Every structure is written in C-alpha cells, then in structure tokens.
C-alpha cells in the first residue's frame, strides 16, 4: 500500500523560504505511470494546486506561484520536495503531497497534510 508523508517546519517567519519533503513508501517514485504533486489549503478555504513533477525532473507550476516555487526529486531517497520563497501570511495553509496517476488523470493518493504557519 503506497503512502505519502509530508515533513517540514510548522512555523516559518516571513519572508523566509519554506522547504517541505514528501516521502513515498510502499512504492517507487521512479515510475512512468505517475506524476507527483503539491496542493495547499488555507484555513477555511479551498484547495489550490501548487505544482507537479515527473520523476525525470520535469516540473509544472501554478502560474500564480511560479516565480516563488521550485520542486525537486531525489530518487535515491524516494522523496520529492517543495521550496516556496518570499513567504507571507497568505501562504499559511495545510500543504498536501499527492500522487497523480496518469491513466486516471487524477490525484489518487494523498498524504495526511502538514500545517504551515507563516508568522513573525
């Protein structure tokens, strides 16, 4: 059973950089059947797609965040990471990682999410 687990700091100061890692267990990140994505949800609000990546390193970003984000993969550790810079309070959210299965064209497995608060 494949599982995803987010890890990272719960509190970050503005305008620092947020770094989150999603560790994949029970399966390989190096599969041509999947993309791997980051999604966030501010308190009381809806879901926002941040970006996705392929195990080869190809990345796709939300245009509204593109200038501030990077996503990378470490296949040797079976994890992928998100960096979001120039943080403000509006970046406070639960951050989820998820697997997108190409044949489904849908995010079929999600991590439990990690709450990140941006505050001085």
Partner 1 sequence: SSELTQDPAVSVALGQTVRITCQGDSLRSYYASWYQQKPGQAPILVIYAKNNRPSGIPDRFSGSSSGNTASLTITGAQAEDEADYYCNSRDRDSSGRVFGTGTKVTVL
Residues that bind partner 1 (CB under 8 A): 37, 39, 46-49, 52, 60-64, 96, 100, 104-108, 110-113
CB of 7 to partner 1, least distance (A): 15
Dist. CA 77–CA 87, nearest whole Å: 27
Is the distance from CB of 75 to CB of 23 less than 8 angstroms?
no
What is d(CA 71, CA 57) in angstroms, rounded to the nearest whole number?
A: 8
Least separation, in Å, of the C-beta of 59 and partner 1?
A: 10
Residue (14 or 25) nearer to partner 1, CB? 25
Nearer to partner 1, 1 or 76 (CB): 1
Cβ proximity to partner 1, 4 vs 118, nearer residue: 4
Nearest to 80 by CA among 105, 110, 53: 53
Tokens of 15: 């305008």
Cβ nearer to partner 1, comparing 16 with 42: 42
**The two structure tokens encoding residue 9:** 């700091």
Smallest separation, CB 62 to partner 1 (Å): 6
């Amino acid at each position: 059973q494949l599982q995803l687990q987010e890890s990272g700091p719960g509190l970050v100061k503005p305008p620092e950089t947020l770094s989150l890692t999603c560790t994949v267990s029970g399966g390989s990140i190096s599969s041509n059947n999947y993309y791997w994505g980051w999604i966030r949800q501010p308190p009381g609000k809806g879901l926002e797609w941040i970006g996705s990546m392929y195990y080869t390193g190809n990345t796709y970003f939300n245009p509204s965040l593109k200038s501030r984000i990077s996503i990378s993969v470490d296949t040797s550790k079976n994890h992928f990471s998100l960096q979001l810079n120039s943080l403000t309070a509006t970046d406070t959210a639960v951050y989820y990682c998820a697997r997108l299965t190409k044949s489904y064209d849908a995010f079929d497995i999600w991590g439990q999410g990690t709450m990140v608060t941006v505050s001085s």
